[in-house]
Amino acid sequence: MSVPASGACAAAAAESECLVRIRGLRFSHGPRVIFDDVDLDIRRGSVTAVMGPSGTGKTTLLKLISGQLRPDAGTIEVDGEPVHALRQSALFELRRRMGMLFQSGALLTDLSVFDNVAYPLREHLRLSPAMVRKLVLLKLEAVGLRGARELKPNELSGGMARRVALARAIALDPMMILYDEPFTGQDPISMGVLVSLIRQLNDASRLTSIVVSHDVRETASIADYIYVISNGRVMAAGTPATIAAERSEWVRQFMDGLPDGPVHFHYPAPDLAADLLTRGVG
């Protein structure tokens, strides 16, 4: 399924309002097709969710958008620049304008909370220690953890660690943040905090957010637009209300968490009786 250019960016009359524009994307891991002729738009200032079952290429999509992987065919443009065709120096410059919240948080375990958030500032900018301190405290305040700045990652709860990682992701004031399964492993309170933070930071800082997740209810509650992907294709796309009204059996099985439907419980296999009678090991 190809999403027309007027899809996610329809509300913004001008094409320039699309921060990410993907056309004809094809990508494979060996013989396995991950994306097969996919079109996708991310509108500036929006929270766009990419959802689907595990193993459908959601994290791979983030890696393609950030230039960590190159497509087999098609184009990927971020802020008008062809990510797939950029030289290394230009790609690194573009990546400075992107924040990334990794699924694991990926905090540097030997550094304090303060130094984890300060790391990208010290690495990419020439700022005085006083300015670094002010910026770090502001970012930590934004995620409610200014008081935890001296703690080490092993002293943090899972939810706190994810919030520190978010403070680090916004340290360079990016134009866009890529969230890779931000709610995984979070208790209900921590999840609620993260859900609220993603929406608040997006709106307050005029960010563009791409949230990859299979946590349906939480993600849909903050998304402006949703893509549901599987089997190398976009299965459905639209606002949360549009997706909620989608009658496709596959989409309903995923969105409603139904055990029976087009996605089968059993991995394809020979008939059980015949398999049991076949000689062999494994």
- Pick the residue with more confidence: 282 or 13? 282
Per-residue pLDDT at 6: 47
Going by their DSSP bridges, the two strands 176-180 and 73-78 should be labelled as: unpaired
φ, ψ for residue 255 (rounded to 5)?
-65, -35
- Pick the residue with more confidence: 250 or 120? 120
Decide if 100 contacts 177 (C-beta within 8 A): yes
Q: Is the pLDDT of residue 64 over 80?
A: yes
- Nearest by Cα to 70 from 55, 88, 52, 97: 88
Instruction: Please tell me the number of Cα atoms within 13 Å of 2 on its side-chain side.
Output: 13
Per-residue pLDDT at 211: 94
Residue appearing with tokens 């200014």: 146
Q: Look up residue 107 and give its two tokens.
A: 């905090």
- Pick the residue with more confidence: 266 or 196? 196
The topology (CATH level 3) of 1-97+176-261 is Rossmann fold (3.40.50)
Q: Is the pLDDT of residue 20 over 90?
A: yes
Q: Is the pLDDT of residue 191 over 90?
A: no
Per-residue pLDDT at 280: 66
| Average pLDDT value for the chain | 85
Give span(s): CATH 3.40.50.300, the chain.
1-97+176-261
pLDDT band at 101 (very low <50, low <70, confident <90, very high): confident
For residues 172 and 152, what is the distance between their CA atoms, to the nearest angstrom? Answer: 22
pLDDT band at 4 (very low <50, low <70, confident <90, very high): very low
Q: Is the pLDDT of residue 246 over 70?
A: yes
pLDDT band at 2 (very low <50, low <70, confident <90, very high): very low
Total-model pTM: 0.83
